[in-house]
Amino acid sequence: MKPSPVFADAPVTIFEKMSGLAREYGAINLGQGFPEDPGPLALRERAAEAAIHGWNQYAPSRGLPELRQAVADHYNRMQSTALTAQEVIITSGATEAIAASVAAWVNPGDEVLIFEPAYDAYRPLIERAGGVVKSVVLKPPHWDLHQEALIAAIGPRTRAVLFNNPMNPAAKMFTAEELATLARVCIANDLLVISDEVWEHVRLGDRRHLPLALVDGMSERTIKIGSAGKMFGLTGWKVGFVCAPQDLIDPVARAHQFLTFATPPLLQTAVCEGLGWDASWFEAMGRDMGNRYALLRHSLEAEGFRCLDSDGTYFLNVDLAASGIGLGDAAFCELCVREHGVAAIPVSAFIQGGGQGSIIRLCFAKPDDVLLEAAGRLGRARKIFTKR
Ligand code: GLN
């Protein structure tokens, strides 16, 4: 008898679904988070050159030595860490890095804490490893992390936290106080933290990114994950980094060798070059995203929408109820993509049993004219729904 399929009940990811609908209806796609821009030419040229003249067979499983060194140097320079190349491995995207970290460290029956709304891969990856998800639901508009909620979610079988900062889809950067709270609780309960920091350079204001591993007592219990795709706006490249002390990273490297084994060397070579760029390049990228955020936000507010604050990521969240729209987020997104030519993501998709939510996520990493057109279309949709 054939086995039953494991992910039979899992929905097609909301990103795939909305991008599919956007294509089908010819809508502006502000759903799945990727920039419209093709990414830095210098890196694409470097990858092309490496494809023609470089090594195109398997890379070492842990990554090209020069890239592991470049990742360590990059973080040491930009974030004052003290990483060595041995404490870095390269994966095929951050999602693989998360999968490898979970596969390496979550045992059947282990409870793992997540914060919802949570990136959609976290829950299925933990559950597939036999782990049990414990969720702390953060509430808009500020998505504050409270110590009591954290402590209430922890039991004798809790082993790890899968954390995301800056947080997708909330577009939140946790404050130093919130990180200190998280650290205190993790240390008191001797928890491991898988810290997904892929949005670390996509900061929309002046606040600095605080790597969790740098909070006192956290370096020895934190597996940090980064992403070249997010750093350079090359999301299709799927080049991720894992950084952790030797005893934490070695098991992740073992898991990675059985997942993808290695990552395309031409992409690693190109990423290596980008990581060496001056801090000013990354600051300019953040400023550019900040300008796009401001443009979309102002245009939507002019149309009567209420927006939540974004500290980081490519995303702006809109509160439908506060904007006078009595429709649930999923229903609004369905109607918008089919009838009004804009694809967005309903945030309730990131909360297990989230029911009808009221917040939609829009990606602003698009040209100005596209953002203005989308805001106009959404404004017309709003007028119809507020009249209903
Ligand atoms: N990280 C992207 C987002 O949040 C989506 C990635 C994906 O489609 N799996 O929109």
Please report the pLDDT score of residue 388 as a whole number: 57
Nearest CA to ligand 1 atom 3: 33
The predicted-structure confidence for 343-385, as pLDDT tens digits, reads as follows 999 999 999 987 789 999 999 999 999 999 999 999 999 999 8
> Is the per-residue pLDDT at 44 higher than 60?
yes
pLDDT digits (tens, 9 = 90+) for 20-41: 999 999 999 999 999 999 999 9
Strand partners, 115: 136
Distance (angstroms) between ligand 1 centre and the Cα of 29 equals 13
> Ligand 1 centroid to 2 CA: how many Å?
32
Q: Which residue's alpha carbon is nearest to atom 2 within ligand 1?
A: 33
Edge-to-edge order in the sheet of strand 158-164: 88-91, 240-243, 222-227, 192-196, 158-164, 111-116, 132-137
Burial class, 372, CB count within 10 angstroms (exposed 0-12 / middle 13-18 / buried 19+)? middle
pLDDT tens, residue by residue, 133-183: 999 999 999 999 999 999 999 999 999 999 999 999 999 999 999 999 999
Residue ranges of E strands in the chain: 28-29, 88-91, 111-116, 132-137, 158-164, 192-196, 222-227, 240-243, 306-307, 315-319, 342-343, 345-346, 359-363
- Average pLDDT (58-76) is 98
Best of 168, 199, 231 for a ligand 1 pocket test (most atoms within 8 Å of beta carbon): 168
CA–centroid distance, 256 to ligand 1, in Å, is: 21
Average pLDDT, the chain: 97
Read off the pLDDT of each residue in 299-308 and give the average, rounded to a whole number.
98
Which tokens sit at 298?
């102002």
pLDDT of 116 reads 98
**What pLDDT was estimated at residue 387?**
64
Amino acid 361: pLDDT:
98
Q: Which of 13, 19, 32 for mutating ligand 1's site (highest number of atoms within 8 Å of CB)? A: 32
CA of 32 to the centre of ligand 1 (A): 5
pLDDT band (50, 70, 90) for residue 10: confident
The tokens of 105 are what? Answer: 């460290």
* Residue 32 beta carbon below 6 angstroms from any ligand 1 atom: yes
Minimal-distance CA residue to ligand 1 atom 8: 15
- Lowest model confidence (mean pLDDT) among 56-70, 100-114, 298-312, 344-358: 344-358
Query: How far apart are the CA of 15 and the centre of ligand 1, in A?
Result: 6
Distance between CA atoms of residues 358 and 325, nearest Å: 9
Whole-prediction pTM: 0.97
Confidence band of 95 (pLDDT split at 50, 70, 90): very high
